[in-house]
Structure 1
Amino acid sequence: MRIRSVTTRLAVPLVIVGLLAAGCATGDDIPAEGEATLGTSNDINPRDVSELRDGGNLRLALSALPQNWNALHTDGNDADLGALMKATMPRAFTTDAAANLSVNTDYFTDVELTGTDPQQVTYTINPEAVWSDGTPISWEDIQSQAAALSGADTAFLIANNSGFDRVEKVERGVDDKQAVITFDQHYADWRGQFAGNSFLFPKSVTATAEAFNGSLVDAAGPSAGPFIVESVDRAQGRVVLARSPHWWGDTPKLDTITFSVLDAAAMLPALQNNEIDAVGLADRDELKTARNTPGIAIRRAPGASWSHLTFNGAPGSILADQGVRVAISKAIDRQGIANALQNGMVQEPKPLNNHIYLSGQKGYQDNSLGFDPTAAAAELDALGWTLNGDVREKDGQRLEIRDVMPVQDQWVQIGQIIQQNLAQIGVKLIIETKPGQGFFTEHIMPGNFDVGQWSWVGDPFPLSSLTQIYGYNPDDLQGNYGRIGSPELNALIEQTISELDPDRAIELANDVDRKVFEEGHSLPLMQSPGNIAARDTLANFGAPGLASYDYTKIGFLK
């Protein structure tokens, strides 16, 4: 599942973010380490818990407070909330740096594919697992969530159906602590339905559309992790997580985790001033500054975050014509963007050339249309967009497009490079910056943009996002904010997510990716460098790669 982020930096190290399949460069810009690729490493200062002191407060930064504490809701589908939820909510699997899966035994004693015709998955819940209000976690929570995300009732404003539209039924197993999911169509990414960026919520949140959409708008509900949400201070922009008194697993070393809302430009100074303990690094200057700050260590490992452009192809929009979107895509120098923003951060800056797989991940290949401004200009000519001075016109309308982005220097720099690229073919780009708070709910989700810039944050289950982002259903947009798609693309997605053979699924996913490029749906730009600055006494935390954190083992050295 993909979740949204307004930042190009690793603003929230609790989220699996920050991938670039490159390693060291010469000089002082990059730590002298071997080349890293996705799925090979992490860098978290691993220490035995005996080396850590009891207690302490881990201080981190957020871009904004959650718009909705329900991460399954379309308003809650963002990286800031994901960072909070991963310490508080159940997930079925943990992962290592290579994205190998292990059942998360804090919550489930077994998760098993118990049939393929029909496909059937059996979840056996840990007998000790309870929600923070004391209610046992049961098969009914799984049944209720499956129904809510099925799409059968469009009053549920879901972020992603996560394959539950393919579920025929969820039944009680041998007791209330076992759920048996039966599919009426195969679902390739079944392991990701309650894992990665997807969480299990209590049935009190998912039982009705009213509860799903509105019960967690103002505050978090029942949780089931080593930490609970202790307080939310909206005036100060602060969320405090504390040890859960209902937690049945290993006792956390930390007492609290505090998240403070900070502007992007304030994050590194906050680390230097001992106000937070870790932050992602956005550019070469920040990397140099962090390396020269006493008591700060640079931790680097690939993750799964990337910047991109989404085009608005809704009927009546200036980019409704697929040919115009494709021409603009070809005119954008993505290698130039990577060079400008990542030189000195990685060894060989490269653009990302796939929507589904990341560089270094099995399945990754270059399906892009390439940089060809000459072809782009010719295609716009053929579509009737003719130059009138510096800007093209058609039927009295100027080819001017609004690029809506969060307020952050790196996004603006990307926009300025694109602005220069498009000026060469007679397209005027207007840069509009918006605050992180409300960026998606007020601008992107309503379609109030021509081009939108933000980051997607992935997990080890890339196929689960195909319907979410690239499938097109006008009555159920989920994450397809550009409202772009086709019956052909929908059919390819359907074939891909129905394929249980992993190698064949990869082949089909790349067919989907080629079609996404051809539709002019969106344009991946670059993966984020895996550079995190952290207090050198902080252990079992930093750049996790594709590994999941054990929140009970994060802490500070004695």
Structure 2
Amino acid sequence: MHRRFFRPITSTTTRTNEGNTMKNLTRIGGAAAIAAALTLTACGAGGSPTGPETAKGQGSGGDVSKLISINAKDAKDLQPGGKVTLPLGNIGPDFNGFSNNGNSADNSALMAAINPVAVSGGGIGGCWKFDFAGKATPNKDFCESVDSEVKDGKQTITIKVNPKATYNDGTPIDIKAFQNTWNILKGSNPDYDIVSPGAYPFVESVEAGSSDKEVIVKTSQPVYPLDSLFFGLINPNVNSPQVFNEGFNGNLHPEWMAGPFKLDKYDSAAKTLTAVPNDKWWGTKPVLDSVTFRQLESSAQIAAFKNGEIDAMSANTIALYKQLDGTKNSEVRRGQRLFAGGMNINALRVTDVAVRKAIFTAVDREALRKVRFNGLNWEEPSSGSMMLLPFSAYYQDNYPVKETGPDAAKKVLTDAGYTPNASGIMEKDGKPAAFKISNFGDDPTALATTQTLQKQLQAGGMDVGIDQRASADFGKVVGSRDFDLSLSGYTVGADATDSVKQFYDSKASVNKVGDAELDKKIADLASIEDNSERNKAAMEVEKEHMAKYFSMGPVFNGPQISFVRTGLANYGPSLFQSPSQVPDWSTLGWEKK
């Protein structure tokens, strides 16, 4: 699975932006999505005029049940029918979650409802689903069982596909989908713009067993965890680099989907998408009559929530919280945001490792957290990993710089041959240490955090500007690597095995920095069956990579604070079961009045 990226600070779910919607990354079944840094969630009942209730992230051995708040109800106790409207930071334009341009938390949130067979990161996708604690079990809507046998150093995985599993156009979900997924994601054809090959290069063959609904997978070396494979399946019609890379731009291809809801209407001009129950769905039928997604900047979400136009939104900054506090017919749900990030450096543009090390050194991470969480009454352990949260039993703090501050940053640059020019900017061979921080969206806390980082880096002798972008541009900008540095990060899962390759492999990672020695360690650790030993090996790779290459610097994780319409059931901070806050789309609905 791939981690999705999160937007900067403001929003919701897969590459994540520090401001807006989240995009997927560490491993929650699939590639980590990239996300903006600003998305938060919450637990408990409504807020007070003085701000959110005090809450804190959990350290090692913490009680993760305190990080979940969904108003859980059985579907039979809910009002049949009804509709729910949810905001996203961006809808499309690329709807292929397996590609770099489509690998976002927002895309995963959308696809979880209408196409869970193809969700490549999140709490459910393809053959797998996760519980709140991050334990993976087969998703029986698509894969009734997944069994593994290791003999003579090689592994055979047998997958029994649900006989009823069928794409919306009537094509059976069978061996062809599994073979297509492997052929594309193993990375042998560089023309496919995939996020990460993950464990697929270790697969030697994917063949039919007793029927096309039995899949026999053989590997060159054992692969762990098993959910590294076939978390998300690629439809056989996606059969060329052109279709994969460009065929989903503005086109969802609902005929190639399978899920509890189906596409009813997509209006690219109005930036809305509506889904209704899928009459061809063989699984549990949804409670709701319809779900609508609206693309909205955070400022527009505030008015929409107050006016009853949307039914939930994240309030991950004090500015958002105060504007929403006291809204009629609403409550606050608080928990842990599955996000790790801060300094997402594009090493393809900030190419000098000395400049990247100076960035890590100049940053006052505690000061950034104070700005980011100002007024939210949120405390958390210092974030020192891109791959695991501090409450994980496998977590370790891998931040590579101990002596920080402007003087220490200038010394890093001086030792690398930089000297101050007439303006006080450190330069080498006539080239200044100059770059921009991309800020997404219109949330004032996101901008304040970016400006604080800018001042810290300027004090360290670097020429740093701000590149202001709209929230809707987040996925495109980060996916196409059209930035120098952004306050963003990735969704975090319960296991570091996939993310270590996605982030730190010299060939698979977006930054393309690393070395053969680390690549071998990454390849070898995938065969370690013991979860603790394998994750320890992954964390050691991260520690070594950070200290050599300085490409991604963790600063914070953060809470998930969600304002939710009173009576909405089975929605809210859900930890690993659902980064998009909907643990099960079939049970999302309204309490009976």
Q: TM-score, normalised by structure 1?
A: 0.91
Deviations 1:140-197 (CA, angstroms, capped at 9, x unpaired): 21111111111112222212213111110001122221111111133223313333xx
**Could you say if the C-alpha distance between residues 390 and 351 of structure 1 is closer, same or farther in structure 2, counting changes exceeding 3 Å?**
farther
Deviations 1:479-529 (CA, angstroms, capped at 9, x unpaired): 51x343233332332232232222221221121111232111111121131
5+ long unaligned stretches in structure 1: none
Shift of 1:238: 0.6
Shift of 1:346: 4.1
Shift of 1:49: 1.6
CA distance in 2, matches of 1:4, 1:424: 29
Give SS of 1:115's match. Answer: strand
Q: Is the 8 A contact 1:29 1:288 kept in 2?
A: yes
**Could you say if the C-alpha distance between residues 302 and 124 of structure 1 is closer, same or farther in structure 2, counting changes exceeding 3 Å?**
same
Identity among equivalent pairs (%): 25
Shift of 1:412: 2.1
**1:333 aligns to 2:364 (yes or no):** yes
Equivalent residue, structure 1, for 2:414: 381
Equivalent residue, structure 2, for 1:532: 562
| Segment of structure 1 superposing worse, 455-464 or 69-78 | 455-464
CA distance in 2, matches of 1:212, 1:546: 28
Shift of 1:20: 9.0
Q: Provide the aligned C-alpha RMSD in A.
A: 2.6
Q: Is the 8 A contact 1:43 1:545 kept in 2?
A: no
**Could you say if the C-alpha distance between residues 510 and 21 of structure 1 is closer, same or farther in structure 2, counting changes exceeding 3 Å?**
farther
Shift of 1:62: 1.4
How many residue pairs match? The answer is: 545
CA distance in 2, matches of 1:162, 1:19: 28
Shift of 1:135: 1.6
Equivalent residue, structure 1, for 2:393: 362
Q: Is the 8 A contact 1:303 1:546 kept in 2?
A: no
CA distance in 1, matches of 2:356, 2:197: 28
Equivalent residue, structure 2, for 1:521: 551
CA distance in 1, matches of 2:210, 2:551: 46
Equivalent residue, structure 2, for 1:418: 453
Q: Is the 8 A contact 2:179 2:207 kept in 1?
A: yes
Equivalent residue, structure 2, for 1:343: 374
**1:30 aligns to 2:52 (yes or no):** yes
Deviations 1:452-472 (CA, angstroms, capped at 9, x unpaired): 332312333432122222212
**1:455 aligns to 2:489 (yes or no):** yes
Give SS of 1:87's match. Answer: helix
Q: Which amino acid aligns with 1:532?
A: S
Deviations 1:194-234 (CA, angstroms, capped at 9, x unpaired): 33xxx2232112x3333322332232222111011221101
Equivalent residue, structure 2, for 1:4: 5
Q: Is the 8 A contact 2:265 2:273 kept in 1?
A: yes
Equivalent residue, structure 2, for 1:404: 438
Q: Is the 8 A contact 2:85 2:291 kept in 1?
A: yes
**Could you say if the C-alpha distance between residues 355 and 23 of structure 1 is closer, same or farther in structure 2, counting changes exceeding 3 Å?**
farther
CA distance in 2, matches of 1:508, 1:84: 34
CA distance in 2, matches of 1:394, 1:322: 13
**Could you say if the C-alpha distance between residues 312 and 99 of structure 1 is closer, same or farther in structure 2, counting changes exceeding 3 Å?**
closer
| Segment of structure 1 superposing worse, 212-221 or 32-41 | 32-41
Equivalent residue, structure 2, for 1:149: 185
Q: Is the 8 A contact 2:386 2:490 kept in 1?
A: no
Shift of 1:266: 1.6
| Segment of structure 1 superposing worse, 146-155 or 451-460 | 451-460
CA distance in 2, matches of 1:484, 1:292: 48
CA distance in 1, matches of 2:378, 2:159: 44
Shift of 1:94: 2.3
Equivalent residue, structure 2, for 1:324: 355
Equivalent residue, structure 2, for 1:427: 462
Q: Is the 8 A contact 1:4 1:78 kept in 2?
A: yes
Give SS of 1:437's match. Answer: helix
CA distance in 1, matches of 2:100, 2:55: 39
Shift of 1:21: 12
| Segment of structure 1 superposing worse, 117-126 or 342-351 | 342-351
CA distance in 2, matches of 1:437, 1:303: 21
Q: TM-score, normalised by structure 2?
A: 0.86
Q: Which amino acid aligns with 2:451?
A: Q
**Could you say if the C-alpha distance between residues 8 and 376 of structure 1 is closer, same or farther in structure 2, counting changes exceeding 3 Å?**
same
CA distance in 1, matches of 2:542, 2:22: 29
| Segment of structure 1 superposing worse, 28-37 or 217-226 | 28-37
